[in-house]
Amino acid sequence: MVRKLPAVESVAFKLVTWSNDAGIPPPPRSANYSKLGFTQSVMHSWDLCRIIESAKTLKCFTSAIGGRQYPGGGHPMLHVTPILKSLWIHRQTLEKLDLDMESQKPRQ
């Protein structure tokens, strides 16, 4: 829904989790926002990638896991390589990148 609002430039999520009932992921380069932020959130890498890729022009991206757990317990495993590949799409426009991933989290 947010991606269809032409004047929205910045979207921030705090304490967000992804639901399988969220519907169809946004198509690549379909959203007008240029600033994305996720703090204290539990997102699967695949879902995070789809949101990053949905921006037409991404200028600023912030992501901090912040010790969140899944509702049923356990910590998310972040696959960093796909996230970096999704950010690479925006390499010509990305001006600010802030990734905060805890060191005890397994990375792939």
The predicted model gives 18-34 an average pLDDT of: 77
Tell me, yes or no, whether 22 lies in a domain: no
Tell me, yes or no, whether 108 lies in a domain: no
Tell me, yes or no, whether 6 lies in a domain: no
**Cross-strand bridge partners of residue 36:** 11, 61
Q: What is the pLDDT of residue 65?
A: 72
CB crowding 14-53: b at 16 or more within 10 Å, else e: eeeebeeeeeeebeeeebbbbbbbbbebbbebebbbbbbb
Q: What is the pLDDT of residue 2?
A: 55
Tell me, yes or no, whether 20 lies in a domain: no
With 90 as the cut, is the pLDDT of residue 23 above it? no
Calpha distance 11→85 (Å, rounded) = 21
Calpha distance 52→81 (Å, rounded) = 13
Per the CB < 8 A criterion, the answer to whether 5 and 33 are in contact is no
Alpha-carbon distances of 39 from 16, 24, 25, 30, 92, rounded to whole Å? 8, 23, 20, 23, 24
Tell me, yes or no, whether 46 lies in a domain: yes
* pLDDT (tens digit per residue) in 61-106: 998 876 666 667 666 677 889 999 999 999 999 999 998 876 444 5
Number of Cβ within 10 Å of residue 70's Cβ equals: 10
Q: What is the pLDDT of residue 6?
A: 67
Range of the domain at 94: 27-101
pTM for the model stands at: 0.76
Say how many domains are in the chain.
1
- Considering the chain, what is the average pLDDT of its residues? 78
